[in-house]
Amino acid sequence: MVLHTHRIKIFSCRSSRYLAEKIARALNMELGSSKVTDFSDGEFQPAFDESVRGATVFIVQSTFPPTDNLFELLMMIDAARRASAHQVVAVIPYFGWARQDRKDRPRVSIGAKLVANLLAAAGCNRVMTCDLHADQIQGFFDFPVDHIYASKVFLSHIRANMPDKFSIAAPDMGGAKRANAYSRILGCPLIMCHKSRERPNVVGSMTAIGDVEGRNILIVDDMIDTAGTITKAADMLSDKGALSVRCLATHPVFSGQAYERIARSKLEEVLVTDTIPLTTDPNVDTSKIKVLSVADTFADVINKVYNYESISNSFVF
């Protein structure tokens, strides 16, 4: 009898190939070969160009808009399962629909739970993701979820560039836990910003709790969507006497007028990761935005998961 060890293969859907290639390089591997056939009516069909039989297959894809990105991932998972992969792991650096984690008003969907159900139905055995908008989304899955924190990447950069009179700020009450963790680890004061919304994606009023005057402030959040909250907080903190205002956010969603708002705001720098690619439009001002890569972090966790090693020390908080 011959016993076979399970091979490891890493593939990517189209929208996250730039990140998957960096993850594969960090693992000293070649990215697996796959293709997508597009049809004139808008349908598409992913396919693997090599055998995945008996392999542990990692498929990298962030599920940012459009919805095609999610559906392509689901179809790739289904294709791997039908091609007799031993195990299929969805590597989702940015988990879309994560803000829909509860029923916050009548007659609405819980989108994050629906996505979890779809991944399970497609044949996914494990999910690997980064900085979920709400930690409890892990409980929506009935299989393992590796929830990675980008803080490991950010903290290294912050410590190397941290100015004097440094403070951490939370842009709203929802980000208090995350900001408090950075404040505790870095040993610096915490500032709380309190906002009221007029409607989704539109901030009404905002105020700050804590010592702002004469401080270099870093606003911490998990994502920047329209940049309304972040830029309003930065302008408000600057008006209250902050020496400088920067921000960090794991996921650069950057929808609507986000780039324009950042460019004309009082933010000096915006730190983000490469879970979502920045625009390639040469006419858009991205001079304030610095991208740090999470590829090595994902590569390390993929290696440990594949080799059944503990990943506890891969987390900062």
Element (H, E) at 302: helix 295-306
Torsion of CA 173, 254, 23, 14, to 10 degrees: 130
Q: Of the candidates 284, 221, 226, which has an alpha carbon nearest to the alpha carbon of residue 255?
A: 226
Which of 9, 22, 113, 195 is catalytic? The answer is 195
- Helix-helix angle 111-122:68-82, to 10 degrees: 30
Residue 54, phi then psi, degrees to nearest 5: 75, 5
Question: How far separated are the first and last CA of the chain, in Å rounded?
Answer: 45
Long-range contacts of 202-211, Cβ-Cβ distance < 8 Å, separation of 24 or more = 202/228, 203/228, 203/229, 203/232, 206/232, 206/233, 206/236, 207/236, 208/169, 208/233, 208/236, 208/237, 208/240, 210/167, 210/169, 211/167
In the residue annotation, 304 being an active-site residue is answered as no
Query: How many residues are recorded in the chain?
Result: 317
- What residues act catalytically? 195
